[in-house]
Amino acid sequence: MELRPWRKQDAQALAVIANNRNIWNNVRDRLPNPYTVMDALEWIGHISQQQPPQNFAILVNGLVVGNIGAVLQDDVYRKTVEIGYFVAEPHWGKGIATKAVALFVDYVEQQFSPLRIYAGVFAHNKASMEVLRKNGFHLESIKRKAAIKNGQVQDEYVWVKLIEN
């Protein structure tokens, strides 16, 4: 398993992975649904401007199977980084997200020197919470009624890893 920056050639694979309602149910609404090759090309073009890169394809045996990325915070939160990720549904339960998060956290620490790395997870996504727990994150808070997904009010679980400097 490896992480690498997204390429235009990955657009078809990304569209196949991201155009999945079960993935969409676990991410923010800014990810279009349905998700097309044009959406993938637009997004890859946008993130290709980031230096250093903040979003990566997750590859297994050379095949794109998911995405992992960071959102750098600013102002008084400039030493905080939010992460997010998804893996193609046929690859769920195989430890891929756990390994990807481990690699990505190391990268984020080296590139951005954060004090905090966090991820927000909808209450129903127990698998993602387990990925974070296995990577040394702890449950910092539960934000009650924090989000609306599919027309339903959701609690958001905030998982945090504090970085020793």
Say which CATH number the domain at 124 has: 3.40.630.30
How far CA 34 is from CA of 22, 41, 45, 93, 157, in Å, comes to: 12, 14, 19, 24, 26
The pLDDT score that the predictor gives to residue 15 is: 98
Give 18: exposed, middle or buried? Use CB within 10 Å, 0-12, 13-18, 19+.
buried
The pLDDT score that the predictor gives to residue 164 is: 84
Domain count, the chain: 1
| CB-facing half-sphere around the CA of 58: CA atoms within 13 A | 24
Strands (E), the chain: 2-5, 55-60, 63-72, 80-87, 116-122, 138-149, 152-162
Domain region containing 15: 2-162
CA–CA–CA angle 158, 127, 79 (5° rounding): 30
Phi, psi of 22 (to 5 degrees): -70, -30
Q: At what angle do helices 96-112 and 126-134 cross, to 10 degrees?
A: 50
What does the block give as tokens for 135? 């990577």
Which amino acid, 62? Answer: G
The pLDDT score that the predictor gives to residue 165 is: 67
Chunked in runs of 10, what are the mean pLDDT values of the chain (165 residues)? 97 98 96 97 96 97 98 97 98 97 98 98 97 98 97 97 88
Q: Which residue has the tokens 């996504």?
A: 125
